Amino acid sequence: MCSNRLDLKKSNNDYNIKKLLEIISIQLWEKKQFILFLDIDGTLSEFHSDPSQSFISHTTLKILEKLKNLNVQVIAITGRSVKIASQLFSPLDLPIAGTHGLEIKIDQKNLSKEIESINYPLIRESLKQACIPYPKLLIENKDYSVALHYRQCPELEQTAYKIIKDVQLLHPELKINTGKYVFELLPHGADKGQAIHKILQHFNLPTAFSIFIGDDRTDESGFKVINEVSGMSIKVGAEETRASYRLKNVNAVEKFLDLFSKLLEKNSLSTSQILNGENKCLN
pLDDT, mean over the chain:
90
**Any residues with CB less than 8 A from the CB of 198 and at least 6 apart, and which?**
101, 104, 111
Residue numbers of the domain that contains 183: 120-187
pLDDT given at position 114: 65
Q: Are 236 and 15 a contacting pair, CB within 8 Å?
A: no
Residue 6 lies in a domain: no
CATH of the domain at 148: 3.30.70.1020
The string of pLDDT tens digits covering residues 105-145 is 998 777 766 666 789 999 999 999 999 999 999 999 988 89
pLDDT given at position 275: 47
Domain tally for the chain?
Answer: 2
Instruction: Name the most confidently modeled range: 26-30, 106-110, 220-224.
Output: 220-224
Residue 7 lies in a domain: no
> Which pairs with CB-CB distance under 8 Å and at least 24 residues apart come from 203-206?
203/35, 203/73, 205/33, 205/35, 205/73
pLDDT given at position 51: 86
For the cut 90, the answer to whether the pLDDT of residue 175 exceeds it is yes
Residue 80 lies in a domain: yes
Residue 203 backbone zone (phi > 0: left; psi -120 to 50: alpha; other: beta): alpha
pTM score, whole prediction: 0.89
Residue 29 lies in a domain: yes
The string of pLDDT tens digits covering residues 41-72 is 999 999 888 888 999 999 999 999 999 999 99
Same domain, 236 and 252: yes
Same domain, 91 and 131: no
The CA R_g of the chain, rounded to the nearest whole Å, is 20
Same domain, 125 and 233: no
User: How are beta strands 109-110 and 138-141 bridged, if at all?
Assistant: unpaired
**d(Cα 88, Cα 95) in Å, to the nearest integer?**
13
Same domain, 195 and 57: yes
**d(Cα 246, Cα 166) in Å, to the nearest integer?**
36
